[in-house]
């Protein structure tokens, strides 16, 4: 079986690539390494790795034509909210144009597809007060170009199923964490940043008052959710939340790291970042109806994450 993963050397993409590879499949990765790392996927040889931007539409079309992928995962994007605020036009090309072109190439040239997976984001909900965030019942209120672009991308995947019968599905990722997350990114997951600060005994800065809440999902639980939706035909043309259904404030997370390491580091507070939201957690009942059962609460997940890092 052949699989294409854009953004496949990044944090989440590399885990997807690793699982498919370990199951004996032929995995192709397209990644410009702007945030991903080649060393995240040492199991992918150079013949299956393309260091290219996803706006290279000719390359992606040729790959789709030639290899007739059974699974396509579109994760490549300009993922920093801050960067999309600074570069709205450029990020539109990365985050919307690339999605449309890949969908269209797949529609026109690939008759072997089992599922086209799109990585969306909980950022599209914005800061509206209703909780938990529900795909069916919550309004969306994008507060950044990134959020607008992710919403547009997932809507295109829905349209390509409705109009053209393409088997698509999108997951709105909440706050994913785990091994291979890049703490050097300017918008990395906060858990990887806190971890790096504790390792270096360096000061940590909370953006806001630290009481903002997030729905943290460990990478293994996310992979469980992904495999559920790509293997079930009833998910075609649909969008699901990918979280745990629980909210945790950042001060609690910080204290959990302190407990694990057995020491404290200095911390301070500064203004919240433009485009950030105060509170967020997911309604994952539709995913649970398909069999999703998250196994990692925040304490178990942090422990597993840090244990992996120590290895």
Catalytic residues: 146
CB 147 within 8 A of CB 280: no
Please, what sign has the CA dihedral across residues 243, 230, 150, 92?
positive
């Amino acid at each position: 079986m052949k699989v294409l993963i854009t953004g496949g050397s990044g944090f989440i993409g590399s885990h997807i690539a690793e699982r498919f590879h370990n199951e004996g499949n032929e995995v192709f990765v397209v990644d410009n390494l702007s945030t991903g790392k080649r060393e995240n996927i040492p199991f992918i040889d150079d013949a299956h790795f393309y260091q290219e931007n996803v706006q290279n539409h000719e390359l992606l079309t040729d790959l789709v034509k030639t290899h007739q992928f059974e699974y396509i995962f579109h994760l490549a994007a300009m993922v920093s909210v801050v960067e999309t605020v600074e570069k709205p036009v450029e990020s539109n090309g990365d985050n919307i144009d690339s999605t449309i072109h890949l969908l269209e190439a797949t529609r026109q040239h690939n008759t072997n597809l089992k599922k086209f997976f799109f990585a969306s984001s909980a950022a599209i909900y914005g800061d509206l007060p209703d909780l938990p965030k529900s795909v069916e019942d919550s309004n969306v209120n994008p507060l950044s170009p990134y959020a607008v672009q992710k919403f547009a991308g997932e809507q295109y995947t829905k349209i390509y199923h409705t109009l053209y019968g393409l088997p698509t599905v999108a997951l709105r990722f909440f706050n994913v964490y785990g091994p291979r997350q890049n703490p050097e990114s300017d918008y990395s997951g906060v858990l990887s940043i806190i971890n790096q600060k504790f390792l270096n005994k360096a000061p940590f800065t909370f953006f806001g008052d630290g009481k903002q809440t997030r729905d943290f999902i460990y990478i293994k639980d996310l992979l469980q959710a992904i495999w559920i939706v790509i293997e079930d035909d009833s998910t075609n043309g649909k969008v699901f939340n990918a979280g745990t259904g629980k909210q945790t404030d950042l001060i609690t997370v910080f204290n959990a790291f302190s407990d694990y390491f057995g020491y404290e580091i200095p911390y301070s507070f500064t203004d919240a970042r433009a485009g950030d939201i105060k509170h967020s957690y997911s309604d994952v009942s539709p995913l649970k109806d398909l069999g999703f059962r998250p196994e990692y609460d925040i304490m178990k997940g942090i422990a597993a994450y840090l244990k992996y890092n120590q290895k």
